[in-house]
Amino acid sequence: MYRTQITSSNIRSVGYDSKMATLEVEFTSGDIYQYFNLPEHLYQQFLHASSHGQFLNDHIRYNYRYQKVS
């Protein structure tokens, strides 16, 4: 999945597959997680959030099934 670099202290890059409704997040630690069944509008909100890490914690991390992929 293609990921875009973002400015964040914890997150290096993010990508979204609209066909699979999957968000992929690469953290600065090198860990990569995928979050499943995430609506595209939420991904867009995430991209435009003033704090990506805070948005991930508040709206995504505990509300969507996820898996560590690397």
- pTM for the predicted model, two decimal places: 0.94
Nearest to 35 by CA among 6, 53, 15, 51: 15
Q: Which positions ≥6 away from 30 have C-beta within 8 Å?
A: 70
Q: Which domain holds residue 48?
A: 4-68
- CA dihedral defined by 48, 55, 26, 20, rounded to 10 degrees? -80
pLDDT for 61 = 95
The span from the CA of 44 to the CA of 48, in Å, is: 6
Q: What is the pLDDT of residues 14-48, one digit of tens each?
A: 999 999 999 999 999 999 999 999 999 999 999 99
In this prediction, residue 15 carries a pLDDT of: 98
Is residue 1's pLDDT more than 90?
Answer: no
Domains of the chain: total: 1
